[in-house]
Amino acid sequence: MPATVTPLRVAIVGFGWMGRVHAQAYARVRHHYPEGPAFPELVAIADDVPGRAEAAAAQFGAATAVTDWRALIADPDIDAVSVTAPNFLHREIGTAVLEAGKHLWIEKPVGLSAADAQAVADAAVAHGRQTAVGFNYRNAPAVQAARELIASGGIGSVTHARFRFFSDYAAHPDGALTWRYQRARGGNGVLGDLGSHAADLAWYLLGDVASLVADSAIFVPERPEPTGATSGHQLASGGSRGPVENEDYVSAQLRLLSGARCVLEACRVSVGEQNSYGFEVHGTRGAVRWDYRRMGELECARGDRFQDEPSATVHVGPGSGDYAAFQPGAANPMGYDDLKVIEAQRFVRSIVTGVPEGATIADAVRSARTLDAMTASIEKGAWVTV
Ligand SMILES: NC(=O)c1ccc[n+]([C@@H]2O[C@H](COP(=O)([O-])OP(=O)(O)OC[C@H]3O[C@@H](n4cnc5c(N)ncnc54)[C@H](O)[C@@H]3O)[C@@H](O)[C@H]2O)c1
């Protein structure tokens, strides 16, 4: 281990899909960033489903497994905590982590509303701790390359853009009625889930939103109640069915402060669409497009023809974002888990250097304000100022 590497004891609250992804990311930091400045050691896991934390602790070599997250936060030897529990717990657990003097890596959307995200942000400022938020798509080296291309004027002035986040994870009518579909535990539906990512990406690439108008719909109004503990997106059948309380679909038209126009669309019940996430940004001299499922590629049109300008595929490589931490040459595809390793490393580095890096709680507040504005627009049936 290099002399500069600082020990960093981390814990995870909520060991479903994202808890596992965070555990794997922490473990891989030392593989991809051998220079440090710290290698996280997972020491404790909390999950309220009996046995779940124990099984995870045995697999990942954590010494402590608890069902009550408060016991974990009370441990003075823990430096940082990942909060990967359902949305309704983000505010309570996130602020408690910060008040206990620990750094916080928390999943998006950070609570049920912008007020929840702001409360966590306030606690981070009050206690001087670092934060990271799970807006992983902006960590893709190709997305960073697109950002640099746009910022450098490589496609001219941005005129209009489209962000599309379509998925089928909730398309099956027997998809279990988990916390995701309930207002009290999930908050927004696809707006908070995929829409929060889209809002963050739109800001990351194009800057602030001035005003917007939005629409939403529920297309699968009832789902079967799960009969046991759930994790991720699973099916349930038999049993009684309950109401879906939040939106399956959202679309919004955004006017950006730059004057550019933007369309944002997200849906969780799109049959035939598996993680179909991406954007296209058009400018006065070109365009750039990205599809998450071809993570390392950018489709770029750049030149001086204006008309009949061809598009070319650019495979990003070392020199774009953190690509070099994974592969030595372009066009070796990276995956979703790699984006979380990058996120973990930025979090770790921010703790050691004291300088925020990557998406932080401020980005969660901004994204949540955009989502709250969409909700207000849907309620009013009118344009709203953000
Ligand atoms: N960044 C991304 O791409 C991404 C992807 C999926 C989910 N998420 C976010 O991650 C969070 C978790 O989502 P998920 O898909 O992992 O959900 P999940 O349902 O798979 O896992 C949630 C876990 O939290 C546990 N839990 C519930 N109440 C708890 C409590 N009081 N104490 C401790 N543990 C508790 C559950 O038992 C479960 O194991 C959500 O906020 C979601 O929006 C982010």
The structural domains of the chain, with segments of one domain joined by +, span 6-136, 138-335+360-385
pLDDT of residue 1: 45
Measured in whole angstroms, how far is the alpha carbon of residue 167 from the centre of its chain?
15
Q: How far is the CA of 262 from the centre of ligand 1 (A)?
A: 30
Closest approach atom of ligand 1 to CA 340: 1
Closest approach atom of ligand 1 to CA 52: 39
Q: How far is the CA of 144 from the centre of ligand 1 (A)?
A: 27
Half-sphere exposure of 13 (CA within 13 A, CB side): 27
Residue with the smallest CA separation from ligand 1 atom 5 is 18
Beta-bridge mates of residue 276: 166
pLDDT of residue 4: 55
Q: How far is the CA of 56 from the centre of ligand 1 (A)?
A: 14
Substitution candidate for ligand 1 out of 45, 47, 90 with most atoms within 8 A of CB: 47
Residue type at position 260:
A
Substitution candidate for ligand 1 out of 12, 13, 15, 17 with most atoms within 8 A of CB: 17
Substitution candidate for ligand 1 out of 107, 200, 340 with most atoms within 8 A of CB: 107
Its pTM stands at: 0.96
Q: How far is the CA of 19 from the centre of ligand 1 (A)?
A: 7
pLDDT of residue 45: 98
pLDDT of residue 236: 83
Q: How far is the CA of 52 from the centre of ligand 1 (A)?
A: 13
Beta strand 249-256 with 209-217 is antiparallel
**Overall fold of domain 6-136:** Rossmann fold (3.40.50)
What are the angstrom distances between the C-alpha of 261 and each of 73, 212, 349, 380? 44, 10, 36, 21
Q: How far is the CA of 230 from the centre of ligand 1 (A)?
A: 10
pLDDT of residue 3: 46
Residue with the smallest CA separation from ligand 1 atom 29 is 48
What tokens does 12 get?
């995870």
Pair 366, 108: CB distance under 8 Å: no
**For the chain, which residues score pLDDT lower than 70?**
1-5
Please provide residue 2's backbone torsions phi and psi, each rounded to the nearest 5 degrees: -60, 150
Contact residues of ligand 1, CB 6 A cut-off: 13-19, 46-49, 52, 69, 84-87, 89, 107-108, 134, 136, 193, 230-232
Q: How far is the CA of 16 from the centre of ligand 1 (A)?
A: 5
Q: How far is the CA of 18 from the centre of ligand 1 (A)?
A: 6
Beta strand 312-315 with 297-302 is antiparallel
Residue with the smallest CA separation from ligand 1 atom 1 is 134
Q: How far is the CA of 151 from the centre of ligand 1 (A)?
A: 35
CA triplet 362, 292, 209: central angle to 5 degrees?
Answer: 40
DSSP sequence for 249-284:
EEEEEEEETTS-EEEEEEES--TT-SSEEEEEEEES
Give the right CATH number for 138-335+360-385 from 3.30.360.10, 1.10.3720.10, 3.40.50.300, 3.40.50.2300. 3.30.360.10
